[in-house]
Amino acid sequence: MLNRLQPLEKRQLATLHNACMKILSIVGVVFHEAEALEIFKKQGFKVDGKKVFFAEDQVLKALETVPPEFTIQARNPEKSVTIGGDHFALGPGWGAPLIIDANGERRNASMEDQDNFCKLVQTSHYLDLVAGSMVIPADLSTGLLAGVHFVHQACGILGAYSTISFEKFVLDEEACELMKRALCPVDISEESIGLDLIERVGNSGNYMMTDETVMGCRTAFFPSCLAQRGTYEEWCKNDLGNTARIAAKHVEERLEAYVKPDNDPTMEKDLKRYVTARLKG
């Protein structure tokens, strides 16, 4: 089968690398945090005002210290996420100042919207983490928003990253799980091949009604909550509605059923103290 992904050639990779090194060494990078600038100075980097310049040998030396993977620790250890290696993580869109609803109406985002998106992430079986504020609430000064260290835009984002939608969030969420399943390695084993089943069915039989096939179908396919798996006639007869309406109902049900996860009281207290200190500057 033709692999349509075209990896870059060594020559192309070298061209990109050289261009990056030239930008870092000549143009530099601006850092607004005084502590960061002081760290660069102590490590021997050229610093001019708020701008730091990186020599190629300094970049390569720093890259040697980067671990192949690391773990983002969650309050619940079972929810911790590993980044790097063979792992990848999916998170929702973030930083949208506007909301678009199932009727196509657009409005300013609010803190309530942020809370509701957090509930959707916490009840999601497919997303791994949330890396920042999913909306920019109009009722909150943007100066209070904490910075993020990495970006995910897997769910809900629209309008050149200026708008986010609850309905698109849950639709994209299922697409994330489909992608995860597509990337899962194929199980090649004696059990999955089922030689004994092939011998038992023989040349003229069929596999559709065997116990192995029925059991495999329970987990092999993605059970979408939003897609309609019936016939067109059933869809018309039962007035199953369009995808946006189905998604809106799903969002409503998820939010109504939301239960706040249990948190360690000491950690909750520490987090509140940290947030309060950050807001005070």
Q: Is residue 168's pLDDT more than 70? A: yes
Q: Are strands 51-53 and 163-164 parallel, antiparallel or unpaired?
A: unpaired
Q: How confident is the model at residue 54 (pLDDT cuts 50, 70, 90)?
A: very high
Tell me: pLDDT of 135 over 90: no
Report, as an integer, the average pLDDT of 211-219.
Answer: 81
| pLDDT value for 218 | 78
**Average pLDDT score over the chain:** 81
Asked if the model's pLDDT at residue 6 lies above 70, the reply is no
pLDDT exceeds 50 at position 42: yes
Domain residue ranges of the chain, discontinuous segments joined by + = 14-63, 71-181+257-279
Residues 6 or more apart whose Cβ sits within 8 Å of residue 161: 93, 95, 96, 153
pLDDT score for 191: 76
Q: Which residue has the higher pLDDT, 188 or 164?
A: 164
Instruction: Please indicate whether residue 91 or residue 239 has the higher confidence score (pLDDT).
Output: 91
Closest CA to 137 of 101, 116, 108: 108
Q: Report residue 222's pLDDT band, with 50, 70 and 90 as the boundaries.
A: confident
Give the whole-number percent of the chain exceeding pLDDT 90: 18
| Average pLDDT for 189-206 | 76
pTM across the whole model: 0.54
Asked if pLDDT for residue 129 goes beyond 70, the answer is yes
The letter for the amino acid at 260 is K
